[in-house]
Amino acid sequence: MSHTRILIWIAVLWTGAFVMPPCATTQVTTTTVRGRIEVIGAAKTAKSKHETLPGTVVWLTPLAATGAEAPAATSGADPTPAPSPAQVPRLVQKNKSFIPHILVVQAGSMVEFPNRDPFFHNVFSLFEGKRFDLGLYEAGTTRMVRFDRLGISYIFCNIHPEMSAVVITIVTPFYAISTRDGQLSLASVPYGRYTLHIWSEGMGSENAQPLTRAITIGENASSLGVIRVPEANGEHMAHKNKYGREYDEPTPNSSVYEQQR
């Protein structure tokens, strides 16, 4: 074999060792997962069009190939901080209410608590999720809390017992909050096996852990069916103040709670 042919042959072998053929792009098949909620024991009669079902949140966390749940899906461990969203989630205090009543955030998110009432508030949470106490702050001011602990955080005001909200901290983009008529819809869910988590406001603050079950999402399995949840007594959750005592009745009228002019 000539010297020239040997050099060409070596060049071909060298190139083949480092140039890989282009890989075909793997397309992930997704679907919209739907379901609806009903109240446990509800009469099988036509509901009033004005009736509002309990606020319910469902979310999906992927199951690993071994069948074990993805790490930190429901535990209280500190997950990796989430990137800052384009807009910081807010739980607004207005008309002695939290707006929205239910808020879902990614783990590591900062949540803003602006006071838009003409008087003081004292927002706190002492349950299984994120624990904090923002202290007394006046109208037109705001506070921030980083939700770095996974789970259900029940939010209250230490001055106004009628105020309550829920912040659910998760590590998955696949979630849905039920509509007023109980419909659920999760868009662009890839086929696969998941743990389905279910929380509903009728569960009450004494039961901070969501219900869970394993499900498979596929071509012929994209429905959650009917999810039956406990009835909720409006949006006023029974609770004590941040000191573990009953609230004074009526709401204190002391000047310390009134907006200074």
Output the pLDDT for position 99. 97
Output the pLDDT for position 161. 92
Contacts of the segment 37-45: beta carbons below 8 A, 24+ positions apart: 37/178, 37/182, 37/184, 37/200, 37/226, 37/227, 37/228, 37/229, 38/182, 38/226, 38/227, 38/228, 38/229, 39/202, 39/228, 39/229, 39/230, 39/231, 40/228, 40/229, 40/230, 40/231, 41/231, 42/231
Domains, the chain: 30-257 (2.60.40.420)
The pTM (predicted TM-score) of the whole model is: 0.78
Q: Give CA–CA dist 33/54, Å, rounded.
A: 20
The secondary element (H helix, E strand) that includes residue 14 is helix 3-18
Question: One digit per residue, pLDDT tens: the chain, 261 residues?
Answer: 555 444 434 343 334 444 445 555 578 899 999 999 999 987 654 455 556 789 999 999 999 743 334 434 444 545 545 555 568 999 999 999 999 999 999 999 999 999 999 999 999 998 778 999 999 999 999 999 999 999 999 999 999 999 999 999 999 999 999 999 999 999 999 999 999 999 998 887 665 689 999 999 999 999 999 999 998 865 567 788 888 888 886 555 554 556 554
Output the pLDDT for position 250. 57
At a CB cut-off of 8 Å and minimum separation 6, what does 234 contact? none
Residues 231/39, Cβ–Cβ less than 8 Å: yes
